[in-house]
Amino acid sequence: MTGISLLWLRRDLRLADQAALVAAAAEGAVIPAYILDEDTPRHRAMGGASRWWLHHSLASLDRDLRRCGSRLILRRGKSAQLLTALAEEVGTRRVHALHHHEPWWRNAEREAGRHLDLCLHHGNYLLPPGALTTGSGAPYRMFTPFLRALWPHMPPASPVAAPECIAAPEAWPESERLEDWGLLPGKPDWAKGFAGEWTPGEAGAQNRLAEFRAQAGGYEARRNLPSEEGTSRLSPHLHFGEISPATIWYGLDGREEGEGVASFRRELVWRDYAQNIIRAFPDHGRRNGKDRFDALRWRDHRGEAAEDLAAWQSGRTGYPIVDAGMRQLWASGWMHNRVRMIATSFLVKHLLIDWRVGESWFWDTLIDADYAQNSVNWQWVAGSGHDANMFSRIMAPLTQSEKFDAGDYIRRWVPELAHIDGPAVHDPDAHGCRPPDYPAKIIGHREGRERALRAWSATKG
């Protein structure tokens, strides 16, 4: 026991399998601190939906800490500066934290490390990002070789249980009030539907895992069916670190029937892959992975394409599967993964709007908005990423909708179409039953496809 340590929390808002907490508790009293830092990330400060989640996650974490005899200290400002000031205030230089690999957090860690005894630990990924390299020592750019390299290292280390008691300091420093941070929307309360869909916090994450475990065997068969909700819906809990990937990995033991669990674990590896990409290429959120895309002439989303962008954002494109996804996003802060790909492809290829515009919209509206996942997934669909679809592979939203049986999903999220039975719901225009309050298609599939291919062909010269 050496005295007091600060526990610097960011996207690791849990007590179980928290390596930084374990290390800090082994040394003596622990002061857990969360700093709302909107200066260090600059334009990558959290979007509105993420702020809603953060508010409730921090409230949940503070309750959990108090049950262990501790509490959460809140400060707002630049991380490195406030962390240094808080350390001086409580008479320590010792700080424990989990590694974060977004470029702004790596900068903050370097700055904090110049003033403090900063001890960084791993635990937010299956393997530490950067640990796997090719034979030449380069980062993996392609997913499949990355998967093959990672798999022999699995399973990850067994998760550590949450502590029952956390040693407290003799006196606690002052904390700001969470309610004063204004993380929740005011008027209008656009997040009023979120609470019915989500329970932020570590307990909510554990409950979500238990629910998914019961159906994980069918994950491979159901994950692409929006009407069946066959996905885990663990992504926001993982993003905010309310549960570790190791906890999920071991939580699925004993559910090995079929391809379901193996398929889901590959998705956990994709999460690691995305984090490795942004660690190796920190500007992946704004720069094309493939140089040829720099010559692609996107339509101006502030000029000629402004109305099309607004229609996409509000779920008024005339393509029911796209509109259902965008309205689900608005109402719940989340979108089914298969529909994310369809909606992404539609913006980039049918509307020929730069993938960065869509990525920015998702950054603001997704509760699981993650720099690595968001940028890698958008560039995968666009074709511009290091490992990506070909640009010329253009999803047909109407075909995708029927193929993946999205009828009930559409009826739920597009109430204008709720009365349409059978396959007509996928394309009311073609069946002559489009209601007057539902828009016509803003562009035909063939027209959008041919325009995209012409723009792509023009980049060759």
pLDDT in the model for residue 178: 98
Token couple for 165: 């008691």
Q: Answer for the pair 124, 245: CB distance below 8 angstroms, yes or no.
A: yes
Structure pTM?
A: 0.97
Q: Average pLDDT for residues 418-430, to the nearest whole number?
A: 97
In the chain, CATH 3.40.50.620 sits at: 1-124
Token couple for 345: 């492809």
pLDDT in the model for residue 356: 98
* Residue-wise burial string across 133-170, b where 16 or more C-beta atoms lie within 10 A, e elsewhere: eeeeeebbbebeebeebbeeeeebeebbebbeebbbbe
Q: Answer for the pair 70, 32: CB distance below 8 angstroms, yes or no.
A: yes
In the chain, CATH 1.10.579.10 sits at: 291-460
Hey, CA dihedral for 214, 220, 224, 227, is it positive or negative? negative
| Band of residue 229 on the pLDDT scale cut at 50, 70, 90 | confident
Q: Average pLDDT for residues 389-414, to the nearest whole number?
A: 96
Q: CA torsion, points 104, 107, 113, 115, in degrees to nearest 10?
A: -100
Please give the CATH topology (third level) of the domain spanning 1-124: Rossmann fold (3.40.50)
CATH superfamily of 291-460: DNA Cyclobutane Dipyrimidine Photolyase, subunit A, domain 3 (1.10.579.10)
117-121: strand order across its sheet = 73-76, 28-36, 3-9, 94-98, 117-121
pLDDT in the model for residue 2: 60
Cis status, amide bond into 188, omega within 30 of 0: yes
d(CA 239, CA 234): 9
Q: Bridge partners of 98? A: 121
d(CA 260, CA 51): 32
Q: Answer for the pair 315, 414: CB distance below 8 angstroms, yes or no.
A: yes
30-86 pLDDT, tens digit per residue, is 999 999 999 999 999 999 999 999 999 999 999 999 999 999 999 999 999 999 999
In the chain, CATH 1.25.40.80 sits at: 125-157+197-280
The dotted CATH code for 125-157+197-280 is 1.25.40.80
Per-residue CA distances from 5 to 95, 116, 254, 356, 461 (Å): 6, 11, 39, 40, 59
DSSP state at residue 281: S
d(CA 225, CA 221): 8
Number of neighbours of residue 92 by Cβ within 10 angstroms: 21
d(CA 78, CA 118): 16
pLDDT in the model for residue 259: 86
166-192 pLDDT, tens digit per residue, is 999 999 999 999 999 999 999 889 999
First to last CA, the chain: 67
DSSP assignment string, 173-197: PP---GGGG--S--SS-TTTTTTTT
Give the number of C-alpha atoms closer than 13 A to the C-alpha of residue 17, restricted to the C-beta side. 23
187-217 pLDDT, tens digit per residue, is 889 999 999 999 999 999 999 999 999 999 9
318-367 pLDDT, tens digit per residue, is 999 999 999 999 999 999 999 999 999 999 999 999 999 999 999 999 99
d(CA 160, CA 121): 14
d(CA 423, CA 439): 18
Q: Bridge partners of 117? A: 94
Considering the chain, what percentage of its residues have pLDDT values greater than 90? 96
Q: Answer for the pair 113, 144: CB distance below 8 angstroms, yes or no.
A: no
Token couple for 386: 């290091």
128-156 pLDDT, tens digit per residue, is 999 999 999 999 999 999 999 999 999 99
